[in-house]
Amino acid sequence: MIWVIAKRELFAMFLSPLAWVILAVIQILLGYMFLTNLDNFFLLQPQLMQLANTPGVTDVVITPLMQVAAIILLMIMPLLTMRSIAEEKRNRTLSLLISSPLSMSEIVLGKYLGLLLFVVILVSMLMLMPLSLYLGTSPDGGKLLSIYLGMLLLLGTFAAIGLYLSSLTENQTIAAISTFGVLLMLWIIDWIGGSLDGDHSILTYLSLLEHHQSMLEGVFNTSDIAYYLLLITAFLVLTIRQLDRERLL
């Protein structure tokens, strides 16, 4: 049942030009950056060779590329998640799902899985660029896998937060802007660490950037994975609670 809803969600995204435009814009922007990074790598290669711990092509080209990708997607994911529940509320189609023999969790998980499938498509397309390096050189496969997983988890978290904020309102614009606000806040929350005294390890732990960075560098840390999975679970549970609560109002 979850799968039926997920398929419909994914399908509906591709019915509007939005999904296509998003995929195209990201691919063009990052493709350009990938090529410039690659160019820089060729220029810097002689100097890099002299360093003791020589950074590879993955460190110089791919990690910075994915850092930029994460920031671009932070702005774009709210546009993808904004419609998932808000649109159904506005068009009053949510009652179709609610009157079907489905639990609220199945509905929410179905919606989330649909978003996740889109994320997989998106990240897989981005990963084609690093994979193309295999044509001329040998990038670090383990690191690429860690980057791929890191991107999936990051965007999966974006999607869960976006889904929750979409369930709070009928207005898609409000859903998009508030999602963007929450994501950006989580991204920059550790900035304060430098300017204030005292222990800011909690703020640093909360920061999305912090956890993303280590995965991009190929460090596969269980605490990072736990962080993402906790956030995803928390926001999915909140979404289910929100929809259940609305029946009581």
CB of 13 to another protein, least distance (A): 10
Q: Quick one: which of 228, 218, 216, 230 has its CA closest to 70?
A: 216
Kindly tell me which of 103 and 138 has the beta carbon lying closer to another protein. 103
CB of 239 to another protein, least distance (A): 18
Residue 8 makes contact with another protein by CB under 8 A: yes
Residue 17 makes contact with another protein by CB under 8 A: no
Kindly tell me which of 4 and 25 has the beta carbon lying closer to another protein. 4
Distance of CA 160 to CAs 77, 99, 101, 153, 240, Å? 10, 24, 24, 10, 11
CB of 161 to another protein, least distance (A): 25
- Site residues for another protein, window 82-141 (CB under 8 A)? 91-103
Tokens for 167?
A: 């369930």
Residue 15 makes contact with another protein by CB under 8 A: yes
Residue 248 makes contact with another protein by CB under 8 A: yes
Q: State the first-to-last Cα distance of the chain, in angstroms, to the nearest integer.
A: 27
**Do residues 157 and 229 make contact, with C-beta atoms less than 8 angstroms apart?**
no
Kindly tell me which of 65 and 240 has the beta carbon lying closer to another protein. 240
Distance, in Å, from the CA atom of 115 to the CA atom of 112, rounded to the nearest integer, reads 5
CB of 34 to another protein, least distance (A): 34
Spell out the SS3 assignment of 52-118: CCCCCHHHHHHHHHHHHHHHHHHHHHHHHHCHHHHHHHHCCCHHHHHCCCCCHHHHHHHHHHHHHHH
Kindly tell me which of 106 and 140 has the beta carbon lying closer to another protein. 106
CB of 102 to another protein, least distance (A): 7
Q: Which residues bind another protein (CB under 8 A)?
A: 1, 4-5, 8, 12, 15-16, 91-103, 247-249
